[in-house]
Amino acid sequence: MKKFLTTVTILAAMAAVATAGVGIQWQTGYGGYDHTVSPPLTGGTGAILDSYSVIWQLIYAGADNINNPIPNAPGDPLPVAGGANGDYVQGDDVVWAQRTIALGGGTAAEDGSVWDNWMYRVGTAGDTTYVDLSWNTAGFVYQRVFEGTPTWSSYYYDSPLFAFDETWTDSLPPEGFNTEPAQGAGFQASSTMPPAVPEPATMGLLGLGALVMAFRRRRA
């Protein structure tokens, strides 16, 4: 009986320690620049939040382990907010966490964290760690930053993929994941949403306008 109890105690303790999961602290390590800034991205002007609000996402790359890009050819649909996998994502990618930060910086209501105009964390408020202790599948995440609310031809940034540790437990420090592609410089929104293509009715109106102009020119 005593041996049985000891075994049960040890097994219970092992189970408590061996819980799998993910814990990712995602943030910038240098800062973000708006899309008009010329590299190198190390200067003291051009902070992304000086010109735009941002939507900043931590995205699971899905079972295919790739970043499914936002299509951006003319005629491609504009991704929309509110999809089953989260705002604006494609394929099997899933938004795990999101922050919305106003122009100039401030508090992201989603996790209570506070950010300056470079998207650099200031203060101790909030919790910047994404935790899911029930997750047990290896995979990748990436970060996406939209300049303003996504619309036709607006800019966004996708970070490189980050392989997370699915055996993480909360007795371990969270994994740190920076937005930037490399150390020593910032990041910049360089990808674009699809361009707007005029609809047939609009094209018709434009054509009509051109005809009127041509007719008036001939009469003159």
Partner 1 sequence: MKKTLWIAIAGALAASVIAASAQEVLSANAVGYIKRTVPANGGLEVISYALNPMPYSGVTWFTNTSVASEMPNYSWAYFWNDGTQRWVGSQKSGKGAWDGVGMAKVVLPGEMFFLKTPPGAADQDVTITGEVPDDPTLERAVIGSDNNAALGNPYPVDVAFTNLGVAQTAANYSWAYFWNPTTGRWIGTQKSGKGAWDGVGLAKTVLAGEGFFLKDLNPGSVWTNTKPYTWP
Q: Among 53-61, 77-85, 97-105, 117-125, which window interacts with partner 1 (CB under 8 A)?
A: 117-125
Can you tell me whether residue 86 is helix, strand or coil?
Answer: strand
Cis preceding linkage at 40, omega within 30: yes
The CA distance from 48 to 55, in Å, is 11
Whether 21 and 131 have beta carbons less than 8 Å apart is answered as yes
CA distances (Å), 37 to each of 48, 153, 160, in order? 9, 17, 20
DSSP secondary structure of 27-38:
E-SS-EE-TTPP
CA distances (Å), 84 to each of 61, 76, 92, in order? 15, 20, 10
Strands 129-132 and 22-27: antiparallel
Kindly state whether residue 117 participates in binding partner 1, applying the rule CB under 8 A. Answer: no
* Beta carbon nearer to partner 1, 154 or 159: 159
Q: Copy the structure tokens of residue 80.
A: 């929309």
CB 173 to partner 1: min, Å: 4
Kindly state whether residue 45 participates in binding partner 1, applying the rule CB under 8 A. Answer: no
Among 21, 29, 79, 181, binds partner 1 (CB under 8 A): 29
> What's the one-letter identity of residue 188?
Q
Kindly state whether residue 25 participates in binding partner 1, applying the rule CB under 8 A. Answer: yes
Among 3, 73, 171, 201, binds partner 1 (CB under 8 A): 171
Q: Among 75-83, 94-102, 168-176, 202-210, which window interacts with partner 1 (CB under 8 A)?
A: 168-176
User: How many residues of this chain bind partner 1 (CB under 8 A)?
Assistant: 32
Q: Among 28-36, 145-153, 188-196, 209-217, which window interacts with partner 1 (CB under 8 A)?
A: 28-36
Q: Among 51-59, 68-76, 83-91, 122-130, which window interacts with partner 1 (CB under 8 A)?
A: 122-130
Which residues of this protein are in contact with partner 1, per CB under 8 A?
A: 9, 13, 17, 23, 25, 27-31, 113, 120-124, 127-129, 131, 170-174, 176, 178, 180, 183-186
